[in-house]
């Protein structure tokens, strides 16, 4: 019985420790990739990845500037060789794959750069934001292991 209680306490400590570690180290990583100014719309790309090895990330909502809804937001899903593109259209005949944010979950261990072991089989992801005003920041709300997080990305 004593071993059972010690085992339960050990599992609780590990569980609580893991929870606080994840809270301190949210798994979504980002980097600004640039963008373009078109006549009537500002388009920005944000490279995103999931550093976690324990669960996928689902993007819940993306806002810009002072928590405004962007004109449009899509996720590009690609690979390291092809990369991503800045575009103000989501035409299906393009060689790049644009998807709705609710249709994509970021796989585990998807880094922003090609990993040192040169494993190129993992996809890369980029948020493509369009807005009628200049985009100064993006607020990304996402879910990981049942918890909701928010990350603010400043755009230069």
Residue ranges covered by each domain of the chain: 27-154
**Phi-psi group of 16: left, alpha or beta (phi > 0 → left; psi -120 to 50 → alpha; rest → beta):** alpha
Name the residue with tokens 């719309």: 41
Cβ density class 124-139: b for 16+ within 10 Å, e for less: bbbbbbbbeeebeebb
Residues with Cβ < 8 Å from 61, sequence gap 6 or more? 101, 140, 141
Task: Determine phi and psi for 60, rounding to 5 degrees.
Answer: -95, -40
Which tokens in the block code for residue 1? 């019985």
Q: What is the pTM of this model?
A: 0.80
Identify the pLDDT of residue 128: 92
Give pLDDT tens digits for 72-100: 999 999 888 888 888 777 765 477 888 99
In CATH terms, is domain 27-154 a member of 2.60.40?
yes
């Amino acid at each position: 019985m004593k071993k059972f209680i010690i085992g339960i306490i050990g599992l609780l400590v590990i569980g609580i420790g893991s929870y606080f570690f994840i809270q301190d180290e949210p798994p979504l990583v980002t980097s600004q990739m640039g963008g373009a100014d078109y006549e009537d719309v500002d388009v920005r790309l944000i490279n995103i990845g999931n550093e976690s090895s324990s669960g996928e990330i689902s993007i819940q909502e993306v806002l810009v500037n002072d928590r405004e809804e962007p004109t449009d937001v899509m996720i590009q899903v690609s690979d390291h060789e092809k990369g991503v593109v800045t575009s103000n259209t989501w035409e299906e005949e393009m060689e790049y794959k644009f998807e709705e944010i609710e249709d994509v979950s970021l796989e585990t261990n998807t880094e922003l750069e090609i990993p040192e072991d040169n494993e190129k089989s993992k996809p890369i992801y980029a948020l493509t934001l369009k807005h009628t005003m200049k985009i100064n920041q993006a607020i990304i709300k996402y879910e990981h292991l049942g918890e909701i997080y928010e990350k603010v990305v400043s755009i230069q």
